[in-house]
Each structure stands twice: as C-alpha cells, then as structure tokens.
Amino acid sequence: MANSYEYKLSRGDKMLALIRKVFHNYPEFRHDSLKHVARFAPFIPFFSGKPDLSQTLQRVVTFADHSNSLYFGNPIILAAGANKTAKRICDYANMGFGGITVGTATRNVREGNTHRPRVGFIEKERAIHNSMGLNNDGVEAIAARVDSQLIKAHKKGLCVGVSVAETPGLTDEEEKIKDILESFAIAYKVGDYIEINVSCPNTGESRLDLDTRFSERIFSEIMKLRSTFGVRKAVFAKLSPDLSETALRTLLDLLTKYGVNGVVIGNTFPTAKMTQLNMQTPYESLKVLRQDGDKGGLSGRPLYENMFRSVAFVRQNYPKLKVMACGGIDHGYKILELLQMGVCAVQCYSVVAFRWMAAHEMREELTYALKANGFTSLRDFDAAMEQ
C-alpha cells in the first residue's frame, strides 16, 4: 500500500498558487512558463535554484546487456512533455533535476491538437489534465538541439533521454514502421537513452500498447535496428498506467523477449477512465478536454497509488527490467519508497506546477529520509540493497 506523503506549503509554493490563480484563464501560458522559471531560477531572490553537483544522490544505472551506463546527478528526472523542444536543456539542472527526457518527438513537425486550451489544472487534487496531442518540432530539430547541448548537460549532472513516438494518423503498417524506425535512429544518435512512447492517450489514435501484435513488430524491429549500431544505448518503453494485469504481462513478456532494457511506468492516465483513480473531481467538469472528446490524459497526485501497484508488479515479476517510476511523485519520501522497490530512477512532471523548485525540495526530503535510515548517500543505500 502506497503512502500519501503530505508536504508543508512553503512560501514558494504559495507564490506558485498565486501565479496559477492570477493566470487562471491562461492555462497554456502557465504551463509554458516553466521554461522561464528554469532559466531565471538562479537569479530569483530567496527562491534561487542551482544545479545539484553534490555526490550525495548521484546514481549510475548499468545494464546487463552492456548498454551505455546512465549517469544521473540524482535519480529525479523531468518527464517527457515538459521540454518538448529540447531548447535550453541545461536550465532544468537549475531546478534540481538529475535527468531529463526531452520530446516526445515525432518524425516531422506537429502542431498537436488544434483546440485551446489543451491543458487544465485541478487545484484540489494537485492534478493536470491535458490533450496537447504530441505537438513538437520534429525529431531532426530536437536531436540537433540535444547534440549541441549534451556535453554541457552532462557537466551539470543531467542525463538526457529522448522520447519518440509513431506519427499519429498513419494508416499503412509498413509506413508506420518506417516512421518510428527513422525517428528512433535519429534520436538514438544523440540521446543517452531512448524512450519509446507507445501510450499517448491524447492524439485520438489507437494506442500502440493496446495492440500486442503491432507492438511486438515495432519492438522487434527497433531492437534489430539497435543491434546494427556501433554503440549500444538503453531503450525504455513508456507504458500507460491503465493497463490490466493481463495486458501488462503480455507487453512485458514481449519487451523482455526482444531485449528492451526497461519501462517507464507510466504515462498520463486516460481521462475518460478517471473514475478508476482516487479522485473527487468529476469527469464532467473537465470541459477543456471534452471539447475534443475523450482524447486526454490526467497527471499528478491521484496517479501515485495506481502507479505504485504497477511498479510493484513489474519489480516482482520482471526483476531484470529496469523501471523508471512516473505518476504523481511529489515527495522525497515517495522516491525513497520507490527506490526501495528497486526502481532505477523516478520521473515527474505535474509536481513542478504545484511545488516551487520541486526537485530541490524532493532531493532534500530524500537526503533526509536516507539519513534517517542510516545512509549518507544513495551509493551507500545501493550497496546495502545489493547485499
């Protein structure tokens, strides 16, 4: 059973709440303002943020198939969708992250869904609902930006993954395969790891993770292509949090069969199914998403318990798969709980809208929780876990 750790609102959190209130009618603007906060964080009086270059929470993730190891300044990764463009990647180190997944990128530029706004905030639940629809600048532009910033990002303690997805709207199977393989190959040249997003609920397309036959084909082709490259890099599949145990098992079986290194559990939760989550807000009140039918997903606090159960299932049944936990992580104690279950890192997104300098806060909480358990660093903790 997952614990719902509460945090005391700091003055920064209260200031964030005020900003959300003032810009209540401009949710896309509020959402986009993250990049400005990241950029100017070191210069904001009283609320400053700088990269975490201490060694306390450093984490090195190694792979049995000798894929390149991943070096995280700390195990808190900014999840895909927060920096879709891959511009100014290093700014996110100011916010305390030890890694970032940029994108999701598709083969060509995409405008995403055309209705506005495509994002809404549920204050009471500390949740976000969105129907962005994979807007992005195309994988070539994104990869070129990653390439030019990667060394600097590493110096700031950031490990950089690239998320790619199949272009929505393609109908021919061969064309779909060609599309995702091209995106994968372009992203592979630059990313420290590659995340295959097979679970976006808001493009209106049928999700790949629900089509076992096609998923099998995609992952077999991707891993075949990977074997032709000189350098072996880790490949993660990002799955939906709404999969039944049977569907999850089927997918995990095929991912392990083809040697995929790990999974990100998980993506936004399809909004139409939000009654499955522990939420007070009724579906009917999400007017933003309803303009576009059910093409939307929910993120934030209400996802945690469901995600926690799925992660426990994967760790118990597929111990060789690396797991990055994602969904409602908003406290350092939650991160420790997940690390104790054996996840290699955590990803989060919504929390940055509700907690000022969320990754810094969670780093402090995690460091404190480690100390309370008798560990001076994450390395100590890992050594104890291995015994």
Ligand X SMILES: Cc1cc2nc3c(=O)[nH]c(=O)nc-3n(C[C@H](O)[C@H](O)[C@H](O)COP(=O)(O)O)c2cc1C
Q: Report, in Å, the least distance between residue 266 CB and ligand X.
A: 7
Yes or no: say if 186 and 143 are a contact pair by the CB < 8 Å rule.
yes
Tell which positions 36-75 bind ligand X, by CB under 6 A: none
**For ligand X, the closer CB: 149 or 197:** 197
Closest contact distance (angstroms) between CB of 288 and ligand X is 11
Report the site for ligand X in 120-159 (rule: CB under 6 A). 128, 130, 132, 134
Other beta carbons within 10 angstroms of residue 332's beta carbon come to: 23
**The one among 119, 180, 186, 378 contacting ligand X by CB under 6 A:** 119
Question: Which one of residues 348, 357, 366, 369 is an interface residue with ligand X (CB under 6 A)?
Answer: 348
Cβ proximity of 166 and 114 under 8 Å = no
Where b means 16+ CB within 10 Å and e means fewer, 61-71 reads: bebeeebeebb
Residue from 76, 80, 86, 181 that binds ligand X (CB under 6 A)? 80
Residue range at the interface with ligand X (CB under 6 A); choices 85-93, 141-149, 309-317, 326-334: 326-334
Shortest Cβ 326–ligand X spacing (Å): 5
Binding mask 218-257 for ligand X (x = CB under 6 A): --------------------x-------------------
E strands, the chain, in order: 59-61, 70-72, 76-78, 99-105, 119-122, 127-130, 159-164, 193-197, 234-239, 262-265, 269-270, 297-300, 322-326, 345-348
From 69-77, 273-281, 312-320, 342-350, span contacting ligand X (CB under 6 A): 342-350
DSSP designation for 374: T
Does position 267 bind ligand X by CB under 6 A? yes
DSSP assignment letter at 192? S
Nearest-approach distance from CB 214 to ligand X, in angstroms: 18
Least Å distance, CB 272 to ligand X, is 16
Would you say 332 and 364 are in contact if contact means Cβ atoms under 8 Å apart?
Answer: yes
Residue 96, interface with ligand X (CB under 6 A)?
no
- Cα 120 to chain centroid, rounded: 19
* CB of residue 166 to ligand X, shortest distance in Å: 12
Binding range to ligand X, per CB under 6 A, among 87-95, 255-263, 334-342, 345-353: 345-353
At its nearest, how many Å lie between ligand X and the CB of residue 371? 25
Does position 345 bind ligand X by CB under 6 A? no
Secondary structure class of 39 (helix, strand, coil): helix
**What is the CB neighbour count within 10 angstroms for residue 179?**
20
Could you tell me the smallest distance in angstroms from the CB atom of residue 35 to ligand X?
13
Among residues 67, 83, 149, 350, the one that binds ligand X under rule CB under 6 A: 350
Q: Which of 122, 303, 324, 357 binds ligand X (CB under 6 A)?
A: 303
Torsion of the alpha carbons at 197, 199, 205 and 209, rounded to the nearest 10: 100
**Residue from 81, 96, 120, 161 that binds ligand X (CB under 6 A)?**
81
How far lies 118's CA from each of 128, 178, 279, in Å? Answer: 11, 29, 21
Contact between 300 and ligand X per CB under 6 A: yes
Say if CB 203 and CB 134 are below 8 A apart: yes
Paired residues of 194 in beta bridges:
162, 235
Q: What's the rounded Cα separation, in Å, for the pair 14 and 11?
A: 5
CB of 22 to ligand X, least distance (A): 20
Give the amino acid at 97. F
Report the interface residues with ligand X, using CB under 6 A. 31, 79-81, 84, 104, 119, 128, 130, 132, 134, 163, 197, 238, 267-268, 299-300, 303, 326-329, 348-351
